[in-house]
């Protein structure tokens, strides 16, 4: 499986660092994901901004959710139900 996205490692951190996966909304990757990555990076966290639209030539699903497969929606529903720690 190939996952498309951007990995950012924190500056001034040698070795291991906590990490956060950032997923975009129905509008796709925009400045808001980069802003979150910057904020978390300033706290010493690595971030990976997942871009699930670009490899599928999707820019936004705000007005047309049919561009996403049923499997993708099932996975998104599963992730929304996973308890946060």
Tens digit of each residue's pLDDT (9 = 90 or more) over 36-82:
999 999 999 999 998 877 777 777 776 776 766 665 666 676 677 76
pLDDT of residue 15: 83
Query: Which range marks the domain in which residue 74 is found?
Result: 5-11+18-81
Q: How far apart are CA 79 and CA 70, in angstroms?
A: 14
If pLDDT is split at 50, 70 and 90, which confidence band does 18 have?
very high
How is residue 8 annotated by DSSP?
E
Asked if residue 60 lies in contact with residue 29, where contact means CB atoms within 8 angstroms, the answer is: no
Task: Over range 7-18, report the average pLDDT.
Answer: 87
If one counts the domains in the chain, the total is: 1
pLDDT of residue 26: 74
**Strand pairing category for 5-8 and 46-50:** antiparallel
pTM > 0.85:
no
What percent of the chain is helix, strand and coil (3-state, nearest 5)? Answer: 35, 15, 50
pLDDT of residue 39: 95
Ordered DSSP codes for 52-68: SSGGGT----SS-GGGS
């Amino acid at each position: 499986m190939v996952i498309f996205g951007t990995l950012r490692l924190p500056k001034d951190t040698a070795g291991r660092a906590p990490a956060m996966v950032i997923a975009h909304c129905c509008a796709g990757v925009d400045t808001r994901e980069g802003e979150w990555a910057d904020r978390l990076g300033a706290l010493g966290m690595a971030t990976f901004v997942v871009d699930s639209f670009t490899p599928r030539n999707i820019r936004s699903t705000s007005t047309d959710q049919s561009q996403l497969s049923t499997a993708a929606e099932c996975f998104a529903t599963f992730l929304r139900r996973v308890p946060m720690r």
